[in-house]
Amino acid sequence: QSALTQPASVSGSPGQSITISCTGTSSDVGGYNYVSWYQQHPGKAPKLMIYEVSNRPSGVPDRFSGSKSGNTASLTISGLQAEDEADYYCSSYTSSLYVFGTGTKVTVL
């Protein structure tokens, strides 16, 4: 099972919007609506931000949103804030297995 492909880095100024892509195949991202996104600050455990493509857990700000088209899922952060600077990973369920994305470092300029 190959890792899902994400851009290595994305940057934006405070208040701007950025989008992180997550590309897989028809066997994972494209085949199931089970894409989730995780935020990880340095030295910390990952934190769930989005599940089932576009659902936000309670407590996650509504500036975080998710979507999917074909084999590519996306995470959009609107109104970028300094505390959003972190690594972000997508993940997909696929036939009793799980696969993560390569990870994207978000920098707030």
Partner 1 sequence: EVQLVESGGGLVQPGGSLRLSCAASGFTFSSYDMHWVRQATGKGLEWVSAIGTAGDTYYPGSVKGRFTISRENAKNSLYLQMNSLRAGDTAVYYCARARSDPYYFDYWGQGTLVTVSS
Q: Which residues bind partner 1 (CB under 8 A)?
A: 1, 3, 32-34, 36, 38, 44-48, 51-52, 55, 57, 89, 91, 93, 96-103
Q: Which positions ≥6 away from 96 have C-beta within 8 Å?
A: none
Name the minimum Å distance from CB 87 to partner 1: 8
Give, as one character, the DSSP assignment of residue 79. S
Question: Residue 32's closest CA among 91, 101, 103, 74?
Answer: 91
Name the minimum Å distance from CB 23 to partner 1: 15
Name the minimum Å distance from CB 38 to partner 1: 7
